[in-house]
Amino acid sequence: MKISLSVDQELCKKCYACIAECPFDLINKDKEEFPQLRKAAVKKCIRCGHCMAVCVSGALDINISPLTTSPVVDKNLLPDPELVSHFLTSRRSIRTYRKKVADHSVLRQILEVSRYAPSAHNGQPVHWIMVEDPAEVRRLAGFVVEYMQSLKLFPGLTRAWDQGVDKVLRDAPHLAIAHANPLASQHPIEDCTLATSYLDLAAHSRGLGSCWAGFLVQAVHFKYQPLLDALDLPENHEVYTALMLGYPKYRYHHIPQRDDLKVTWK
């Protein structure tokens, strides 16, 4: 889409927040000192929408994120810092799930939140496979176990599997797998990791438990073919992260200790 910016001269206060916040200096002033898009924007705009979103008077509109369809930030809905700290520190990796499956709408809601994770150059390269069917999660866990068995890795986990216990994907009813095309993104690892972290936290906010599925990602990186066949990724795509999801069987009642902060203040 060709980028176009309009400025309502009645509303514009000439505060120039739009100029200050544009990541690539793509807005300057016209003869009357109103903001205008530079020609370079055609090629260089990263479609972040910040110019429209930062405007206090709603004077700027941009076709890649129109003002009328961009929600207003509601200060009353922002949690206070104590609440945020408690929310973040009370999230735990969940390894025992109830059989209950999550509604499709809940899985969609948490995925929608993940779209707002930061991404390099606002590239938004992250694609998801959301496994809704618990039987399919189990089938994928089976491939990971086969991979482990083929290399004689993690004998405890593979023995447990033989006894009917899934210590790989923990009998989670759902699994979210983040993948991206590394040729189309400068930082696919970071982008997928951040999107997965957003998903993790959004899941926590809706009472869903989650756990990063490192073993599955390892088996994909090893290119275990039956697993790759099952995932059926688009051409050139790589899997970077994966997250088990489901309702926790147990609630955590305490926040466990973590290492002291490691920081150099300068």
Ligand X SMILES: Cc1cc2nc3c(=O)[nH]c(=O)nc-3n(C[C@H](O)[C@H](O)[C@H](O)COP(=O)(O)O)c2cc1C
Binding mask 214-233 for ligand X (x = CB under 6 A): xx------------------
* 85-91 contacts at long range (C-beta below 8 A, 24 or more positions apart): 87/201, 87/204, 87/205, 88/201, 89/255, 90/204, 90/252, 90/255, 91/200, 91/201, 91/204
The β-bridge partners of 127 are 179
Q: Report, in Å, the least distance between residue 211 CB and ligand X.
A: 5
Per-residue x/- marks for ligand X, 196-215, CB under 6 A? ---------------xxxxx
By CB under 6 A, which span of 1-9, 13-21, 25-33, 91-99 interacts with ligand X?
A: 91-99
Residue 113-152 contact track with ligand X, rule CB under 6 A, x = bound: ----------------------------------------
Position 95 contacts ligand X (CB under 6 A): yes
Distance CA 183, CA 129 (A): 19
Is 161 a binding residue for ligand X by CB under 6 A? The answer is no
Number of residues interacting with ligand X: please give it, by CB under 6 A: 8
- If the CB atoms of residues 92 and 138 are measured against ligand X, the closer one turns out to be 92
66 scored as a contact of ligand X (CB under 6 A): no
**Nearest CA to 177 among 118, 102, 240?**
240
| β-strand pairing of 127-131 with 174-180 | antiparallel
Q: How far is CA 208 from CA 85, 139, 246, in A?
A: 18, 22, 5
- Binding residues (CB under 6 A) for ligand X: these are 92-93, 95, 211-215
